[in-house]
Amino acid sequence: MAEAKPKRPITGAKAFGVIMGLSLVAGAVAGLGGILVSEIPGVAGFGAALLINGLAMTAAMVMCIWWWRRIDEAAREAHKWAWWWGGCSGMAVGGTLLLTVLLREGETDLSGLAVNEVFAGGMALMLGFLIVGYTIAWAVWWARRR
């Protein structure tokens, strides 16, 4: 698939501020919406939460597409390389930890935690490993080319 040419380069603190501000607004709307529908029971509550979260993720993807189409080819390549190598490396670290915890079941006491807390904690840790790996790989990519 042919890469789209950048429409207009994004540079400076103003562009960064706009993207971060819109992301913050989308996250805040999703969070507040989630709080508002958290008391709705059953399928209706689940559907409302799914709709709110789906709209927030759609807004995030629209912002990502807008941003991606405006960055230059070097920045695109840096992000692709960083997500592949850094993200995969971070996922490998997280996967290693997960497998170790699962195989050493008797040594890990999670009985004081609810299932959703363990699940959310595991997802947050995995995301953390992915982001740390990505950040390191991104910095390495740019350091090699400067």
The number of distinct structural domains making up the chain is 2
Residues 97 and 32 in one domain: no
Which segments in the chain show pLDDT lower than 50?
none
Residues 62 and 76 in one domain: no
Q: What's the pTM value of the predicted model, to 2 decimals? A: 0.72
Residue 127 identity (one-letter amino acid): L
Confidence (pLDDT) at 110: 77
Q: Which domain holds residue 132?
A: 72-146
Question: Which tokens in the block code for residue 47?
Answer: 């559907």
Name 145's Cβ contacts closer than 8 Å, sequence gap at least 6: 74
Distance CA 63, CA 56 (A): 11
Last residue of a domain, one of 29, 45, 71: 71
Confidence (pLDDT) at 108: 78
Residues 78 and 55 in one domain: no
Residues 53 and 40 in one domain: yes
Distance CA 41, CA 45 (A): 5
Residues 95 and 38 in one domain: no
Residues 96 and 133 in one domain: yes
Last residue of a domain, one of 21, 45, 71: 71
Confidence (pLDDT) at 3: 65
Confidence (pLDDT) at 7: 61
Residues 53 and 90 in one domain: no
Report yes or no: 65 and 7 within 8 Å, Cβ to Cβ.
Answer: no
Residues 54 and 80 in one domain: no
Residues 14 and 31 in one domain: yes
Last residue of a domain, one of 71, 86, 118: 71
Residues 63 and 113 in one domain: no
Residue 43 identity (one-letter amino acid): V
